[in-house]
Amino acid sequence: MSTPSPPLAGIRVVELAGLAPGPFAGLLLADYGASVLRVDRPSADNSVPTSDQLTRHKTSVTIDLRDTASHRVLLDILSKADVLIDPFRPGVLERLGLSPSEVLLKHNPRLIVARMTGFRRDGKYKDMAGHDINYIAVSGVLSMLGRSGEAPYAPANIIGDFAGGGAMCFLGILLALISRLGTGRGQVVEANMVDGSAYLAAMLRLNLRTPLWNAPRGQNPLDGGSPYYDTYETKDPGKYFAVGALEPQFYAALLKGLGFKAEDLPSRNDRTNWPVLQAAFTKRFREKTRAEWEAIFDGTDACATPVLEQGELERGGYEQRPAVHLVDTSGLPIQADDGGWTGGGLIPGTGGEETLNTWLGWKRGREFEVRDDGALRRADDKAKAKL
């Protein structure tokens, strides 16, 4: 029996090279079978691999977006594409003469233009530069993260760039593809990391007036305030155990594994007892190595697990898998040769000519030429230049 095609097989995506969120949206599409063609910028040395690590399953061409003559190449490619990922700040495509509504959708009415920004397009920060930490700051999410008595703490750039940005943009693209099944028309998808991050925090926001999240930062059950939802250092310096024993039966299993009887400790239901419990757990976890605690808690319902580090996962042969497994039509293998631990290495132009041949039937020297800096131009433009 033949293997079913991935769910996005046949979908053609043009990804304008950008920072993390845009490439991540393209990566999600590529991992589930879409043909993703990355558009890189011209460079004095086009043999240098891109610094972007999120290039798995993608191909590349180089196009000079600042050269209006190159727009014809891009528009020809977009005439056969389903999706364009625009990672630029508001107004950049318009200034380049590539307005989605005035140019791109008129050129290809079925095209989905996915535009991703950090700040809202209509907010007070719309014309300002920013990064993940700024977007989650003005979304209200950053104010809820961090230990009690300490400054808010951003968890790398996972919330804004990837979850609130790239993943939300991916969702918008899928919704637009579904909508096109009924209307036959593409549309502009607008995603921004402020709204995306705020949406991810919906449960927290809706619980601000409930006991789950009505205390200051770092003093709630899920933000490090609770002694039974926290991390503890073991006898191995720098090696930690994570505890998430929220429910009473799980908490009982935790106490059993730690060697406590219920009567040994004050009630966890009184928040004033939390510092006492945290001190007791801290002391007890430091009495054994992480491996010893694993031997105690593995297979139990104590919700206690080791905090595994990336290096040891790689050394142990942990294999990254697609985020969602579809039983009949799942995604492509993730770097089967190395388990998903390396990325990048995509030299601009890699595989792009094959993609252009598949999409458009183009061949170098017939429909297009390649400039010294790697940028594509139509072959007849070169002929016109000689006249």
The per-residue pLDDT for range 335-368, each reduced to its tens digit, is 555 667 888 778 999 999 999 999 999 999 999 9
How confident is the model over 280-317, as pLDDT tens digits?
Answer: 999 999 999 999 999 999 999 999 999 999 999 999 98
Superfamily of domain 230-316: formyl-coa transferase, domain 3 (3.30.1540.10)
Q: Is 161 a catalytic residue?
A: yes
Q: At 386, is the pLDDT very low, low, confident or very high (cuts 50, 70, 90)?
A: very low
Residue 352: predicted pLDDT: 95
Q: Which helix (H) or strand (E) holds 113?
A: strand 112-117
Angle between helix 352-360 and helix 68-78 axes, rounded to 10 deg: 60
> CB of 166 within 8 A of CB of 114?
no
Alpha helix positions (H), 193-309 = 193-200, 202-206, 248-258, 274-285, 290-297
Domain 12-202+321-378 has CATH 3.40.50.10540: yes
Same fold, 12-202+321-378 and 230-316: no
- 132, 161, 223, 230: the catalytic one is 161
3-state DSSP assignment of residue 11: coil
Domain ranges of the chain: 12-202+321-378, 230-316
